Structure 1
Amino acid sequence: MKKFLAPPAVSDDTDMEVVWIEAAQANPSAFEPLYLRYRERMYYYLRTRVQSAEDAADLTHQVFLQALQALPRYRYRGVPFSVWLFRIAHHTAVNVSSRRFSTVPWDAFAEAVVCKPEQDPESYVLRQETFTHVRNLLQTLPAHKRELLALRFAADLTVPEIAAIIGKRPDTIKKQLARLLQSLKEACHETE
């Protein structure tokens, strides 16, 4: 029998996730806590990849079905469950995008990240104006840079998690994100 690395006992939260994974591997009906833990982040990430909220919901459902089917084969092997799950999402989104040959409007990024009306109407209008400008800047970015932003901000993944999903070193991802955010910040200040 092949021996695998055991997940680190980092926190009660991590320990709980290990228990949920083992339970779901033994009985698929026990998958619900994992679904509940990641569904919102998954939806927001996928929302940046497809045309509509309905498409994002459908794709989220599809990703979780794929994950549930593949769960018996999941082993920690140094890769956290969140990375494993978002790899499935990333590959699913890439496959859907390649079939549809479409560009996602970056209004989806707003929905996924910031667009929640505040009680102060003036602040809300200013935020919307700023977002419109940022959205226009994002539309000019290459797809791989938009993907970095979606994984970081819509999926709320860490740099090491993004690196594992994309297949690059964490230092490389950290530098790319820093440069990208700096260039967006500079472009925003140029128009003020």
Structure 2
Amino acid sequence: MDVWFATLIPGTWDTDTEIHREWELISAARKDPQAFAPLYESYLPRINRYIRTRVSSDEDAADVTQQVFLNALQALPRYRFKGIPFSAWLFRIAQLTLKQKRRKDKSSVSWDLLPVESYLEGELDPEDIVLQQEGLQRLRRLLARLSPEKRDLLALRFAAGLSSSEIAAVVGKNTEAVKKQLSRIIHTLKEEYHDA
């Protein structure tokens, strides 16, 4: 197995045993669709968070997420470890599934449709909630001005939790280019946020 395979789920691949376990899960799922369940459970939260930033409702997110995993299960026999981690392969399927949905629906989605509970953590008093919501509104306006490609990079990084190298594999760019682009986007957003 290649070393890059250890980056599939950041922070979780500490030993060769775990790397081989995912490969075994993939191999088993190729033979028996029921064996896909551990892969599904492992990637479901990240795929769903990513999809939720790109569609207009929780119901749409659930539907698209389900379609992503159905598409992945159907395509699993064609997956090979040729420089593309399984997570990147799965997020490419998510992107393609979203494109198909957009063609079908012809609608655009705003980040402000992401439920507040998805990004607010802990117990807050009412004043803190109002301040956070005002800040989020300001951020939403800034995000709305970004190109769809830049918003997608941010969704892959922050909603899906992918590393720069995983994002690079998803979008077909090199890792350094993705790091630079994310850094520029974040820097610009910070400046505009504080100037607003």
TM-score when normalising by structure 1: 0.89
Q: Distance in 2 between matches of 1:72 and 1:112?
A: 37
Query: Match of 1:168, SS?
Result: coil
Aligned pair 1:84/2:89, yes or no? yes
Aligned length: 186
Tell me, which stretches of 5 or more residues in structure 2 are unaligned? 7-13
Instruction: Kindly state the Cα deviation for residue 34 of structure 1 after the two structures are TM-superposed.
Output: 0.4
Residue 153 of structure 1 aligns with an amino acid whose one-letter code is F
Structure-2 residue corresponding to 1:71: 76
Is the CA contact (8 Å cut-off) linking 1:48 and 1:112 kept in structure 2? no
Q: Distance in 2 between matches of 1:120 and 1:112?
A: 15
Structure-2 residue corresponding to 1:96: 101
Instruction: Kindly state the Cα deviation for residue 115 of structure 1 after the two structures are TM-superposed.
Output: 3.6
Instruction: Kindly state the Cα deviation for residue 100 of structure 1 after the two structures are TM-superposed.
Output: 2.1
Aligned pair 1:177/2:182, yes or no? yes
Cα deviation digits, residues 12-60 of structure 1 (max 9, x gap): 3433212211221121101111000011111111111111110110000
Instruction: Kindly state the Cα deviation for residue 119 of structure 1 after the two structures are TM-superposed.
Output: 3.4
Cα–Cα, structure 1 residues 113 and 158, in superposed 2: closer, same or farther, change >3 Å?
Answer: farther
Is the CA contact (8 Å cut-off) linking 1:44 and 1:112 kept in structure 2? no
Tell me, which stretches of 5 or more residues in structure 1 are unaligned? 1-5
Structure-2 residue corresponding to 1:143: 148
Identity among equivalent pairs (%): 48
Cα–Cα, structure 1 residues 102 and 159, in superposed 2: closer, same or farther, change >3 Å?
Answer: same
Q: Distance in 2 between matches of 1:175 and 1:165?
A: 16
TM-score when normalising by structure 2: 0.87
RMSD of aligned alpha carbons: 1.8
Structure-2 residue corresponding to 1:152: 157
